[in-house]
Amino acid sequence: MKFLLLIAGLGGFLYGVDFGVIAAAEPYMKALGVYSEGQISHVVGAVLLGGILASLTAGVLADWFGRKRMIVASAAMFLIAIPIVSLSLESFYALYAGRVLQGMSAGYMAVIMPMYLTETLPADVRGRGTGVFQFCLGLGLVVAAGAGCIVATIFGASDKADAAGRVSAWSANFWWTMLPVAVLFLGSLRLPESPVWLKRKSGIPGMSANSGKSGELGKSGFAGGSLLQRRYVLPFLLACLVLTFNKTTGMSSFTSYLVTILHSAGFEGIYANWGQLAVKLTNMLVTIAAAALVDRKGRTWLLRVGTGGMTIGLAAIGSVFFAIEHLGVAANNFTGLLTMFAFFFMQVFYALGPGLCVWLVLSELMPLRIRANGMAIALFMNQFVAWGLASWFRPWVNAWGWSSMFFFFAVNGVLYFITVCFIPETKGKTLDELENLFQKDPGKESPNLLHKA
C-alpha cells in the first residue's frame, strides 16, 4: 500500500505542477510582448481545454484499458509535452498544442487516480489515501512556485529581466519538471491493476476490494444501470454541480495568474513570486490537517466549513481591488499585503474543504456502474467552465477590473455552499454500503440520501 500511495502522491504532484508552473512562467510571456492579452489567456487556458478533451474519453478508456494503463499514459503524455512547451515560446500553435497535451495528462490523472484509490484502498484509510493525492497536488503547486522564485532570482523577475533573460526563464520553468514526471512514469509501470476493475472485466461476482462483505458488489456493482435511472440522478447531479462550482469560484483561474494578481495589487518584482509561494505553501500545510480530519469529522462538515470560509476570502480580495479601482486607493506594498493575507484566508478554507474532499466524495458517491462515465462527464463540465474562465480572464479583467472578477467568484461561493448542504455523508462506508444507497427498489421505501452518518 505504501508504494501505491507514493505513486498516487506523484500523480497529485504532476497535477499540481501542471497548474502551478504557468503562474511563474506567464508573466515572462506577457513581458516579452510576443502575444496579445487574449492569446496569453488562451495559452493559459489551453491546459483546461486539454482537460476537457481528456474528460470526454477518460471514463471509456479507464473501463476499456484499466486504471493502471491510463495512469501510465497520463505520465507519458506529460513527458512528451515538456520539450514542446519549453522550445515553442515564439510559435503560438506549437505552444498551444503542448499546453493542451499537458492538460490532457492532468485531466486523465484527475479522473483516474481518485477512482483507482477508491477501488484499491480499504474503507478506513480511503480518506487519508486520497488526502495523499491532494497533499502532493498542493506540494506540486508549492514546488512550482518555489522553482519560479529560483528562476526569477537567477534570470531576474519578469518586470526587471531583459528579453534574453525572459526567454531563458520561460524555458527553465518547464524543463525542471522532466525529472519528477519521469519518476512517476517509471513507478506507475509497477502499479497493480484495480481489483474492482479486474473483477468487473472478468465478470466474476464476489467481494469488492474493500467491501468486507462477499456477494454484495456482485448484486449491485455489476448490475445494469445508466446515468438516466432515477436512483443515479441525484449523485450525478450533485457531482456536476459541485465540480462546476469548484471552478466558478476561480481556483484554477487565479492559481494560474497569482503572480500577476499580486503585481496588480501592489507587489513589485520578485515579491509577487514569494507571495505566490507563501500562499501555495499555506495550501499544502492545511491539506495535511484536513487529511487528518476527513475520516474523523466527515466529508460534508469539511465541505461546508471550507466553502463558507473560502467565500469570505474571495469577497475580501474583491474589496481590496474595488478600493484600488474605484475609490482612488493607490496600489502599494500595503494593499499587496492585504491581498496576500486575503488569499491566505481563502486558501486555508479551500484546502480544508473543497481542495481535499471534492474528488473523494464524488468518487464515493458515484456507484460503480456509472463511476467512470459519471465522473468523466462531471469533469467535462468542470474543465469546460474552467477553460472558459481562464481563456477570457485577461479580457474580462481589462474590461471590468479585478474586483468584478473576484465578486463573481464570491457569489458562486455562496451557491457552492448551498449545494454541499445536500451532499450525503460517505465517511467510513464500504463500497458495498455506498452502492446500496442507490440500489433499493424505487417502489419501496427510498433511502434517505440526505442522512448524515
pLDDT in tens, 185-195: 998 888 888 88
Question: In CATH terms, is domain 8-190+225-436 a member of 1.20.1250.20?
Answer: yes
H helix or E strand, kind and range, residue 308 = helix 299-326
Compute the Cα dihedral for 108, 109, 111, 115 and give only its sign.
positive
In order of 14, 62, 112, 449, the CA distances from 452 in angstroms are 34, 31, 27, 8
The 10 Å Cβ neighbour count of residue 443 is 6
**Residue entry with cell 519528477:** 180
Task: Point out the least confidently predicted range of 19-28, 211-220, 252-261, 389-398.
Answer: 211-220
Q: In terms of DSSP H, where are the helices of 66-160?
A: 67-86, 92-120, 126-155
| Whether residue 125 has pLDDT greater than 50 | yes
Residue 18 CA to residue 137 CA, distance in Å, equals: 9
| Whether residue 358 has pLDDT greater than 80 | no
pLDDT tens for 133-160 read 777 877 888 898 899 899 989 998 887 7
| Whether residue 214 has pLDDT greater than 60 | no
Residue 125 CA to residue 16 CA, distance in Å, equals: 23
Amino acid at 303: L
pLDDT tens for 332-345 read 989 999 999 999 99
Q: 447: pLDDT confidence band, cut at 50, 70 and 90?
A: very low
The mean pLDDT of the chain is 80
Q: 453: pLDDT confidence band, cut at 50, 70 and 90?
A: very low
Residue 143 CA to residue 20 CA, distance in Å, equals: 8
In order of 89, 230, 369, 385, the CA distances from 233 in angstroms are 45, 5, 13, 21
Residue 257 CA to residue 172 CA, distance in Å, equals: 18
Domain ranges of the chain: 8-190+225-436
Shortest CA distance to 95 belongs to which of 106, 104, 86? 86
Phi-psi domain of 448 (left: phi exceeds 0; alpha: psi -120 through 50; beta: other): beta
The 10 Å Cβ neighbour count of residue 395 is 13
Contact (CB, 8 A) for 32 and 163: yes
**pLDDT at residue 97, rounded to an integer:** 94
Q: 414: pLDDT confidence band, cut at 50, 70 and 90?
A: very high
Contact (CB, 8 A) for 374 and 236: yes
**pLDDT at residue 259, rounded to an integer:** 85
Task: Point out the least confidently predicted range of 250-254, 326-330, 435-439.
Answer: 435-439
3-class state of residue 390 by DSSP? helix
Q: Which residues contact 153 (CB under 8 A, 6 or more apart)?
A: 270
Residue 311 CA to residue 241 CA, distance in Å, equals: 17
Amino acid at 158: S
| Whether residue 54 has pLDDT greater than 50 | yes
Residue 133 CA to residue 251 CA, distance in Å, equals: 18
**pLDDT at residue 311, rounded to an integer:** 96
